[in-house]
Structure 1
Amino acid sequence: MADAVRRRSAALFLLLLLPLADACAASVDRITVETDSQGELITVTAAADMQVDPRTVWDVISDYDRLAEFIPGMRSSRVIRRDGDEVLVEQTGEFGFLFFRQAIEVRLAVSESPPGRIVAHAIGGNLRSMEGRYAVESLSGGQVRLSYSGRLVPGFQVPPFISRIAVRSTMDRQFRALVREIVRRDPSVRGEAR
């Protein structure tokens, strides 16, 4: 009896998720994440084309205090100081692959250029260097492209092959989670007017 109730509950839960999954799939046309490495330097590029309001994209990528709620591997993210479009953000988390895990602590100096660009670079933490850039671009047909490019050099000993795979795996999960959150928050996907 209890198993039958659990199966029905699971089936109902999946049925409730299907419309959201369909909306997400219909709203996102393309997601790419690529990494490369040269010695200790790891570069990351990612992009997603979505049928969403560009204001929603900006609202999500600049929501530093809530990033840890939906980004896998991020334990905390908080604004330390804001002075206009200059923001100091502190983040903790981890990246990893299979059995390898590495704790990350970073303090970022962030420059915002609403509604189209965020540039950040590490000024503290356990990364030797890190810089990243988000760009939001309106495309034809109401599409929006979110692009990310970043470069980092770990400040801890990791074999380069492992660090590249770990960063690739982590960035892929995190970027896809960011895109899911954008789609989830977008009023047009939910059928609301903005």
Structure 2
Amino acid sequence: MTASTVSNPRPYSLTVPLQSRDARTTALLQGEILLETRAHSAWGAGVTAQMYLPIQPERAWAQLTDYPRWVQFFPDITQSRILERSPIGQGQETHQRLYQAARKSFLFITAEVEIYLQVIETAGQRIQFHLESGSFHDFQADLQLQDLAEGALLTYSVQATPTIPVPSPFIQQAIHWDLPHNMRNMRQMLCSH
């Protein structure tokens, strides 16, 4: 892909070339949500979203790893709970098992999904989510935090193929409409605590 769509509260979108790092950084610092959708399979989709958090990365990390709170970040998630938690070796990694359930309406269909995830946290930097079982053929997500200006850059990438056969272009369009709203909601929740 050669461009990334910048989504914002205004009713239009801007396109910022990937090589224009200064324009991307400026857009992020102004509160824009940068969103890039892609096909993942015939029935799946992938997306990478970035946003600036005007809070210290440590403060964001503490809240992002409070997985039961994800029901507040993403309104479609109806349940999110930790099933198991354990450190990995002597390093800074933690392994967890997580259960999440969600309900989403699109087109004239309401889908309810549940998922069991293996979660690997690299302290203060990265959370990797891998499908164990659930309502998806495949699911993988990666959340990263980096320092940016006086706060943090949050990058969230996900790719999934649901078991419900919905063509990839419809899923990409749903993501394009929903994810920026969900990311703004997440930022509001993270910054208000």
Q: How many angstroms does 1:98 deviate by?
A: 5.0
CA distance in 2, matches of 1:102, 1:168: 18
Q: Which residue of 2 aligns with 1:136?
A: 145
1-structure distance, mates of 2:185, 2:95: 25
Could you tell me which residue of structure 2 aligns to residue 101 of structure 1? 110
- Assess, with a 3 A threshold, how the Cα gap between structure 1 residues 80 and 28 changes in structure 2: closer, same or farther: farther
* Unpaired stretches in structure 2, ≥5 consecutive residues: 1-28, 88-93
User: Is 2:170 the partner of 1:162?
Assistant: yes
User: Number of residues paired by the alignment?
Assistant: 158
Does residue 50 of structure 2 align to residue 52 of structure 1? no
TM-score (norm 2): 0.74
The change in CA–CA distance for 1:154 and 1:131 in structure 2 (over 3 A counts) is same
1:35-114 to 2 correspondence within 5 Å? 35-38=37-40, 39-84=42-87, 85-114=94-123
CA shift, 1:28, in A, is: 6.1
2:137–2:162 Cα contact (<8 Å) kept: yes
Question: Which has more strand, going by share of residues?
Answer: 2
Q: Structure 1 length normalisation: TM-score?
A: 0.74
In structure 1, the gaps of 5 or more residues are 1-26, 186-194
| Distance in 1 (alpha carbons) for counterparts of 2:43 and 2:167 | 9
Q: Tell me what 1:179 maps to.
A: 187
How far off its partner does 1:107 sit?
0.6
Structure (1/2) with the larger helix percentage: 1
Distance 1:168 1:60 in 2: 25
Indicate conservation of the 8 Å contact 1:97/1:165, yes or no.
no
* Deviation of the 1:92 alpha carbon: 0.3
Shift of 1:40: 2.4
1:156 CA displacement: 1.6
More deviation in 164-173 or 48-57? Answer: 164-173
What displacement does 1:162 show?
2.2
| 1:86-126 deviations in Å (ceiling 9; x for gaps) | 01000001233353332121111000001010001111111
Name the SS of the counterpart of 1:29 in structure 2: coil
Seq. identity, %:
23
Q: Which has the larger radius of gyration?
A: 1
CA distance in 1, matches of 2:96, 2:181: 25
Find the counterpart in structure 2 of residue 123 from structure 1: 132
Give the secondary-structure state (helix, strand or coil) at the position aligned to 1:83: strand
With over 3 angstroms needed to count, the CA separation of the structure-2 counterparts of 1:172 and 1:94, relative to structure 1, is: farther
**Contact 1:73/1:170 (CA < 8 Å) preserved in 2?**
no
